[in-house]
Amino acid sequence: MTQLLKISLPDGSVREMEPGSSPADVAAAIGPGLAKAALAARVDGEVRDLNRPFDGDAELALITARDEADALELVRHDYAHLLAEAVQALFPGTQITFGPATDDGFYYDVMAPASRAPFSSEDLPAIEAKMRELIKADKPLRREVWSRADLIAKWEADGEAFKAEWAKELPEGEELTVYWSGDDWLDMCRGPHLASTGKLDPDAFKLTRIAGAYWRGDQSNPQLTRIYGTGWLNKKQLKQHLHNLEEAAKRDHRKLGREMDLFHLQEEAHGSVFWHPKGYMIWRELEAYMRRKMDATGYREIKTPQLMDVRQWEQSGHWGKYAENMFAVPDMVPQVDEDGDGPAKPTVEKDADWMAIKPMNCPAHVIVFKQGITSYRDLPIRLGEMGCCHRNEPHGALHGLMRVRQFTQDDAHIFCTEEQVVEEVRAFCELANSVYKDFGFTYHVKLALRPEKRFGSEADWDKAEQELRDAVAEAGMANEEFGWEELPGEGAFYAPKLEWHLTDAIGRTWQVGTIQGDRVLPDRLDATYVGEDGGRHRPVMLHRAIFGSYERFIGILIEHFAGRLPVWLAPVQAVVAPIVSDIDGYASEVEAKLKAAGIRVESDLRNEKINYKVREHSLAKVPHLFVVGKREAEEGTVAIRTLGEKEQRVMPLDEAVAMLKQAATPPDLADQTA
RNA sequence: GCCGCUUUAGCUCAGGUGGUAGAGCACAUCAUUCGUAAUGAUGGGGUCAGAGGUUCGAGUCCUCUAAGCGGCACCA
């Protein structure tokens, strides 16, 4: 006697099914349309294959293309397997390793056979074609449970060293699954998969690039070839995605930086930025803004040396831990050897003293703190610096303004007592919030917890982590709205850190702000204050930044606004463009009035047609274009063409000046002028 | 640092199989004074990333170096 399975569906109904039946059977029982549309099934919350039999009574939700997140994950995973199968079909002897789904597609790491060169982008079209062939063949994907020993034997027999290595590390006795594609190819995989390769849309994927990647992400392991693809449910989605990529490329800060004449980079100073007048104007506005913010919240600004004796860096611990990322210079006048035939080179004397360029400002700030005697009554002391630092980053890491070797932080260190930590961190959360809101960013707050390699006792870490948690809770940000999340193992070796991740206009995230509670450096550099009891105590040192670095933050702003910066940040806020040269006099008058009102304005008196001027300044992303012709000159008005708006507005000059003055007011000053 | 690709005028790019560089934009000069996204003509401009090699001859082939791009690793 068999007992029927009770399968509950999302609409609340319950279906009775024969034992051994699967979600596919339920779908078929409901209707042929659903049976065709179903891609996989959510059984008691777990995504499973459509034709994997039920284990018992279950709650079932069938997944179709309408359940986009689940469906995308499924098809991308399938594309990854298909990719691996295609590569092996085309290039026998290729070893396969891993191939997960990604945010927009999938990849698979493979090792080309020794007999041929590593794969290159030239191989991609052939692989794509093979994948389409496999989709067309509509090979059934079949799940099978294997023993670990069988799996290892299979991989070793096939010469799949990486797979075998992985299988050997899987726990003994665990149920391991493989998926057959047809009956001639298989990969070990937890699944789930679609019922057959034919469920994939042959026109909804594209192999995009080839890259190197270390086996298991470890630099000391062999390097594999990673083949990336983007994969979607249908052709339309793929097309949309490719379009989005093009749009993102258009707002690339490196491209816009050149087009808008903001900055440049060149070989002789790679990783350091040459700021041009327009780009540096953005910087100056940001710096002035940040100074106002910090002045208003109890920070005092200092300036500390760029070069310090290496002995100082030894004491702070950086020379031991961080030397490979530091630039060092001999403390001497270089003697250039001009006698030899070869190129003249400075010579360094053997006993030269070495100095290092600061990779961070913290030690110098402790040194300032240590001057004189500090009473607990003086705490907290907040020392800020627009600190220019140099770090010798791995060359492959450099990227436009986003990762550079010379950068300036909006840095500050808060020296406070144990009791003051939570309040100081809370106040920082508020300050950071007000800054990000002023730029129109939304953000997530994350807490990076103790890493494996770390200084200090467990008790200290417990305490330090809890302080940050408490402070964020008090600021009302430890919740979903602020994307609150804890990241185990991601903290610095000396302290846990709070991180602010901005989300830009096209959904990318950027880590910028941070605050860290440090008890190690004050100890190493012997910073103390005199407490209420007359004894010496260690202050806690909070490292914090909001922009992170000016370079990076400007890069993010450029991409976020696609170059169309808010008026207060725009390097040129308005251009006055006369239509005919008879009006040059009036144009200069308009320019003078705007200048007097503090507006960054230029007039374009070139002998060019107005169409040409409009086009040029629009492309240059000037927020306001003041067009003046005979009519305006007679009436004392201006025709304002605002970037991004279709209609122009004609208004009296005085009114226009007032309007622009208000538009150009930085957000932190807006309330006072309103 | 690792893998792959790239490097030609200020910018974007063209230059089958080696025979001594080309376009558009930009720039300069001249003409044009033209009301909302490119007026026309003329002209100047390049040690083809750098070094070495093969060759009668190298932008083109080879080696090395550097930087850039896409990833990986790194981001204390």
Question: Model confidence over A263-307: pLDDT tens digits?
Answer: 999 988 999 999 999 999 999 999 999 999 999 999 999 999 999
Q: Which two tokens stand for residue A529?
A: 């204050």
Is A391 among the residues known to form the active site?
A: yes
Is A409 among the residues known to form the active site?
A: yes
The SS3 of residue A306 is coil
- Find the catalytic residue in A52, A193, A413, A641: A413
Q: Which nucleotide, over all strands, has the C1' atom closest to the CA of A629?
A: B35
Helices within A501-545 (DSSP H only)? 520-524
Query: Which amino acid is present at A128?
Result: E
ipTM, two decimals, is: 0.94
Q: Do A401 and A257 meet the contact criterion of CB atoms below 8 Å apart?
A: yes
Distance separating alpha carbons of residues A101 and A649, to the nearest angstrom: 51
**SS (HEC) of A406-461:** EEEEEEEEEEECHHHHHHHHHHHHHHHHHHHHHCCCEEEEEEECCCCCCCCCHHHH
Whether the pLDDT of residue A642 is over 90: the answer is yes
Peptide bond into A125 cis (omega under 30): no
A113 CA to B2 C1' in angstroms comes to: 19
Is A543 among the residues known to form the active site?
A: yes
Q: Which two tokens stand for residue A244?
A: 């989005």
Q: Which two tokens stand for residue A590?
A: 């308009």
How would you label A531-551 residue by residue, b for 16+ Cβ within 10 Å and e otherwise? eeeeeebebbbbbbbbbbbbb
- Find the catalytic residue in A187, A293, A312, A362: A362
A267 CA to B65 C1' in angstroms comes to: 13
A155 CA to B14 C1' in angstroms comes to: 50
Q: Using N-to-C axis directions, what is the helix angle for A421-438 and A458-474, rounded to 10°?
A: 50
Report the share of chain A in percent with pLDDT over 70. Answer: 97
A575 CA to B7 C1' in angstroms comes to: 37
What are the distances in angstroms from CA A57 to CA A5, A50, A52, A615? 5, 16, 14, 68
**CA nearest to A18, candidates A8, A37, A39, A4:** A4
Q: Which two tokens stand for residue A189?
A: 């995989």
The chain-wide mean pLDDT, for chain A, equals: 91
**CA nearest to A145, candidates A173, A191, A178, A168:** A178
A322 CA to B76 C1' in angstroms comes to: 6
Distance separating alpha carbons of residues A290 and A432, to the nearest angstrom: 11
Is A584 among the residues known to form the active site?
A: no
Closest amino acid to nucleotide B1 (CA–C1'): A394
A267 CA to B59 C1' in angstroms comes to: 21
User: On chain B, which bases lie within 7 A of the protein's CB atoms?
Assistant: 1-5, 11-12, 31-39, 66-76
Strands A485-487 vs A497-503: parallel, antiparallel or unpaired: unpaired
Q: Which nucleotide, over all strands, has the C1' atom closest to the CA of A516?
A: B76
**CA nearest to A110, candidates A187, A192, A12, A193:** A187
A398 CA to B27 C1' in angstroms comes to: 32
pLDDT confidence tier of residue A1, bands split at 50, 70 and 90: low
Q: Which nucleotide, over all strands, has the C1' atom closest to the CA of A120?
A: B4
pTM for the predicted model, two decimal places:
0.91
The SS3 of residue A499 is strand
Q: How many CB atoms lie within 10 A of CB A528?
A: 16
Q: Which nucleotide, over all strands, has the C1' atom closest to the CA of A252?
A: B69
Is A413 among the residues known to form the active site?
A: yes
Is A395 among the residues known to form the active site?
A: no
- Find the catalytic residue in A52, A391, A426, A544: A391
The SS3 of residue A628 is strand
Interval A437-462: pLDDT, tens: 999 999 999 999 998 888 888 888 99
**Region A51-62: what's the mean pLDDT?**
89
Q: Which two tokens stand for residue A45?
A: 């919350």
**CA–centroid distance for A146 within its chain:** 40
3-state helix, strand, coil in chain A (%, to 5): 40, 25, 35
User: Of A20-24, A40-44, A125-129, A333-337, where does mean pLDDT reach its minimum?
Assistant: A333-337
Interval A160-173: pLDDT, tens: 999 999 888 888 77
- Find the catalytic residue in A410, A411, A504, A518: A411
Residue carrying structure tokens 């087009």: A259
Interval A531-561: pLDDT, tens: 999 999 999 999 999 999 999 999 999 999 9
Residue A273, phi then psi, degrees to nearest 5: -100, 135
Is A609 among the residues known to form the active site?
A: no
Q: What is the pLDDT of residue A345?
A: 59
- Find the catalytic residue in A95, A312, A409, A573: A409
**Region A68-93: what's the mean pLDDT?**
92
The helix (H) or strand (E) run that includes residue A229 is strand A223-231
Q: What is the pLDDT of residue A644?
A: 87
